[in-house]
Structure 1
Amino acid sequence: MTSTALRGRAWKLLEMVTTPLLPSDYLDLVSPLRAGADLRGRIEAVHPETADAATVVIRPGRGWRGHTAGQYVRIGVDVDGVRLWRAYSLTSPTDRRDGRVTVTVKAIPDGKVSNHLVRRAKPGTLIHLDQATGDFVLPRARPAKVLYLTAGSGITPVMGMLRDSGLDDVVLVHSAPRPQDVIFRAELHRMVADGKLRLTEVHSDTDGMLDVTRLEELVPDWAERETWACGPAGLLDAAEKHWGEHGVPERLHIERFRPGVVVTGDGGEVTFSVTGRTADAGGATPLLDVGEEAGVLMPSGCRMGICFGCLTPLKAGAVRDLRTGEITEAEPGVLIQTCVSAAAGPCDIER
């Protein structure tokens, strides 16, 4: 008998002994980060960055394939007995020697996962991971001059790039309400002192909101630079307009954490036919948020219309795409992205 056949028989015997569980269930308890297991990570530290942001240090399982600076990772966290998935930018350099990775999370009002990670997560906690993804990255042929334009937590994917890129001519224009709200401020100023970065901070509480037309004075050669921008929708929309008006839209690369709302519908009553729950929804509220608020277990991922992890059948009614305003009506086999779709009248979601 071959060794493969022997292993197969041994595994079947183990299955008989461990029923109703599988042998892999016991292996998950003993070695949850092993090769071949569902990809998990272990939180090893949580370091505060500001009053409402923290860096979470994670040791990923052996199936982790690494990342490119600027990418994000989906993280599954059990909060009050419910597994919720969110996407966060990776802020660690790609060649970190200890094999750990970091995400830096800003707690947002009513954010179940962000507040859990910033204020409640403890070392030793196991989380679920997907592989890193995203195209908000530097090209292999590094540009001679780079501008990063960020605000708030939009600094997080850029920090991964700054820690990893080794570029010679880098300018960062970053906006936050106050100096103490600037995530990574101490490290950014060390980079400035080391000659690795030119930094302009705009503090909106005293300077007003960051106006992209001020780039003429802040970064006179901005139009010659390849630019990566991340932050609130208003800033990114203004940047797209500004770069377009100056004839250099191809030099602007944008990462949106939330989809921009173009047109909203009238809303309506949403029925979740599998669970039998209903909820009244506004025309600007993503159906993913409506379902979670109603206590319905909703699949999710990036929450911004990229990963398609939230695809759900639309049984009846119509929904509006919050990015384009396009109406989708129910018919057999129609799937919708609940993270970027809102009720356009009464509708029935198969959850």
Structure 2
Amino acid sequence: MDLYKQVFVAGAVAPLLSSPQPVRNSGFDRDVVVEAVEQVALDVVALTLRAPDGGVLPVWRPGAHLELFLPSGRQRRYSLCGNPRDRFRYRIAVRLIPDGDGGSREVHERLRAGSVLRIRGPRNAFGFVEAPSYLFIAGGIGITPILPMVRAAGARGRLVYLGSSRDRMPFLAELTGAEVRPDDEFGPPDLAELLGEAEPGAAVYVCGPPGMLTAAQRLAFDSNPTGSLHVERFAPAPVDGGREFDLTLARTGRTVRVGATETALAAIQRVDPRVPYSCRQGFCGSCETRVLSGAVEHRDRVPAALARPDRIRPCVSRAAGDALVLDR
């Protein structure tokens, strides 16, 4: 699945068990070989990846993801859903999105055992916190980052696995003890009721469709005021309350108009498709750029104490006025 991360925490914040690794934009790319491609649900394949020489791969922790550079040049991110103790293999799962922009279709149609891919990572932006108990709510392909967390939580964790039907829910055979509740058997889930079943102080992890995540953010604090909520989005959140502005790229002298409902990064990509980016959620820093002129409306996930007024993360942040000039 194409993944873009968002972490939202409500209530008490606990220490991370799977702390986010330092976000680096280069220096940890490597080639891997596709060892196996397995159909794990309707329209979902799991890829097992290994080093070309069969050697040890970098360590990862629950919640981590890889960035894949596909043969076409497309760049996509997928959660690691295998066993962190297996230092020789990574596993990811990709759901086919027929009306998407082609990344998932390329994985399904072109990748085979023996295919060579370039990856970046692992990186972690969906950290697994220490908590007295855990409630995991996964929707469909949203099980991928949750699966290693469930294993790590052990007896302290409870998993509710939602989906439209069992044939569309990957890794069911690996989830002994989970509450599996497909819609065609149980009807649409009552998220408020599920969140209300979290124990006091529990860490609640939710990953699934955008509507599920939005509802969880709206309901979480009332349902679990002493705990914490952590969500992971599959796609960037829509631009809310934006307004149009001009964006000038100083090195080329080109100016683009940023629409009220598009990101500055999307506008830059129209004239510079090679602009680096990764998370498109404002946390990783891949797209961060120096501001030469203009005020920034910061919408990123950098703590206020660490924010730099002369930098912008154009995947989420915008001009506070009518124009910005960037050192790009």
- For normalisation by structure 1, the TM-score amounts to 0.67
For 1:343 and 1:47, how far apart are their aligned partners in 2? 46
Relative to structure 1, the CA distance from residue 51 to residue 320 in structure 2 (aligned partners, 3 Å threshold; closer, same or farther) is farther
- Give, in angstroms, the shift of residue 167 of structure 1: 0.8
- Give, in angstroms, the shift of residue 152 of structure 1: 3.6
Do residues 334 (structure 1) and 322 (structure 2) align? no
For 2:315 and 2:57, how far apart are their aligned partners in 1? 26
- Give, in angstroms, the shift of residue 101 of structure 1: 0.5
- Give, in angstroms, the shift of residue 100 of structure 1: 0.9
Q: Select 2:57's aligned residue among 41, 48, 64.
A: 64
For 1:121 and 1:241, how far apart are their aligned partners in 2? 39
- Give, in angstroms, the shift of residue 206 of structure 1: 8.1
Q: Which residue is equivalent to 2:191?
A: 212
Q: Which residue is equivalent to 1:105?
A: 94
Q: Select 2:288's aligned residue among 311, 317, 331.
A: 311
Secondary structure in 2 aligned to 1:306? coil
Do residues 266 (structure 1) and 243 (structure 2) align? yes
- Give, in angstroms, the shift of residue 213 of structure 1: 1.6
Structure with the bigger RCO (C-alpha within 8 Å, sep 6+) is 2
Q: Which residue is equivalent to 2:161?
A: 174
Secondary structure in 2 aligned to 1:338? coil
Q: Structure 2: which amino acid aligns with 1:153?
A: I
Q: Which residue is equivalent to 2:152?
A: 165
Q: Deviations over 1:49-103 (max 9, x none)?
A: 3343321211146573211122122333342xx4x43332101111237x11111
For 2:262 and 2:135, how far apart are their aligned partners in 1? 34
Relative to structure 1, the CA distance from residue 258 to residue 298 in structure 2 (aligned partners, 3 Å threshold; closer, same or farther) is same
Q: Which residue is equivalent to 2:66?
A: 73
Q: Which residue is equivalent to 2:183?
A: 203
**Percent of residue pairs bearing the same amino acid type:** 26
Q: Which residue is equivalent to 1:32?
A: none
For 2:323 and 2:186, how far apart are their aligned partners in 1? 45
Secondary structure in 1 aligned to 2:33? strand
Query: What does 1:108-123 align with in structure 2 at a 5 Å threshold?
Result: 108=97, 109-123=99-113
Q: Deviations over 1:124-156 (max 9, x none)?
A: 3332333322253445x674x431012243211
Q: Which residue is equivalent to 2:304?
A: none
Q: Structure 1: which amino acid aligns with 2:92?
A: V
- Give, in angstroms, the shift of residue 120 of structure 1: 2.2
- Give, in angstroms, the shift of residue 307 of structure 1: 1.4
Relative to structure 1, the CA distance from residue 296 to residue 138 in structure 2 (aligned partners, 3 Å threshold; closer, same or farther) is closer
Q: Which residue is equivalent to 1:238?
A: 215
- Give, in angstroms, the shift of residue 296 of structure 1: 1.7
Alignment check: 8 A CA contact 1:270 1:349 kept? yes
Alignment check: 8 A CA contact 2:205 2:230 kept? yes
Alignment check: 8 A CA contact 1:40 1:128 kept? yes
RMSD between aligned residues: 3.7
Do residues 226 (structure 1) and 203 (structure 2) align? yes
Q: Structure 2: which amino acid aligns with 1:306?
A: F
Relative to structure 1, the CA distance from residue 54 to residue 289 in structure 2 (aligned partners, 3 Å threshold; closer, same or farther) is farther
Q: Which residue is equivalent to 2:6?
A: none
Do residues 96 (structure 1) and 73 (structure 2) align? no
Q: Which residue is equivalent to 2:16?
A: none
Aligned length: 292
Secondary structure in 1 aligned to 2:143? helix
Where is the helix percentage greater, Structure 1 or Structure 2?
A: 1
Do residues 52 (structure 1) and 43 (structure 2) align? yes
Q: Deviations over 1:175-216 (max 9, x none)?
A: 33333322323433xx1xxxxx231424289834x4322227
For 1:138 and 1:72, how far apart are their aligned partners in 2? 13
- Give, in angstroms, the shift of residue 311 of structure 1: 1.6
Q: Deviations over 1:148-175 (max 9, x none)?
A: 012243211012223x426125422233
Q: Which has the larger radius of gyration?
A: 1
More off after superposition, 103-112 vs 148-157: 103-112
Segments of 5+ residues of structure 1 without an aligned counterpart are 1-35, 192-196, 325-330
Relative to structure 1, the CA distance from residue 269 to residue 101 in structure 2 (aligned partners, 3 Å threshold; closer, same or farther) is same
- Give, in angstroms, the shift of residue 334 of structure 1: 3.2
Q: Deviations over 1:100-133 (max 9, x none)?
A: 1111123444334333223322333332333322
For 1:63 and 1:309, how far apart are their aligned partners in 2? 26
Relative to structure 1, the CA distance from residue 152 to residue 88 in structure 2 (aligned partners, 3 Å threshold; closer, same or farther) is same
Segments of 5+ residues of structure 2 without an aligned counterpart are 1-26, 302-307
Q: Deviations over 1:275-310 (max 9, x none)?
A: 676655432222333444556212012222221111
